[in-house]
């Protein structure tokens, strides 16, 4: 049976310690029930280079949903206000109709 995509690798947030916008972004994602992988770039400098390569940005937070670069907290908040964040998360965690039937048969 195919499981719904709920891997924490589907949502990645690059952060640093003592970053208020990072805390706000993580809090917003948690209120949506989203699991995510947090990468603290201060603890792992190589991952900082990875973040810059993926986003072309040097500031944190940097949020990715799937392969889509969302941006920082203000970008994430704007997606939430427009309703697009809910749509992205729904499509990320959506199961196919055959998966739903198998889940209901269990």
**Could you tell me the domains of the chain?**
8-105 (3.40.30.10)
Which is it for the CA torsion 92, 45, 72, 77, positive or negative?
positive
pLDDT digits over 3-59, tens only?
A: 444 455 699 999 999 999 999 999 999 999 999 999 999 999 999 999 999 999 999
pTM metric for this prediction: 0.80
**Tokens found for residue 62:** 């940097």
Across 52-69, average pLDDT: 96
In our burial notation (b when 16+ CB lie closer than 10 A, e otherwise), range 73-101 reads beebeebbeeeebeebbeebeeeeeeeee
**Tokens found for residue 21:** 């916008």
DSSP reduced 3-state for 32: coil
């Amino acid at each position: 049976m195919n499981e719904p995509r709920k891997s924490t690798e589907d949502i990645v947030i690059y952060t640093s310690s003592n970053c208020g916008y990072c805390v706000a972004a993580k809090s917003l994602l948690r209120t949506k029930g989203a699991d995510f992988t947090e990468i603290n770039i201060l603890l792992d400098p190589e991952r900082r280079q990875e973040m810059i390569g993926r986003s072309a940005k040097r500031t944190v937070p940097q949020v990715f949903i799937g392969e889509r670069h969302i941006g920082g907290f203000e970008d994430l908040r704007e997606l939430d206000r427009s309703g697009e964040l809910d749509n992205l998360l729904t499509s990320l965690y959506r199961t196919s109709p055959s998966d739903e039937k198998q889940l209901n048969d269990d």
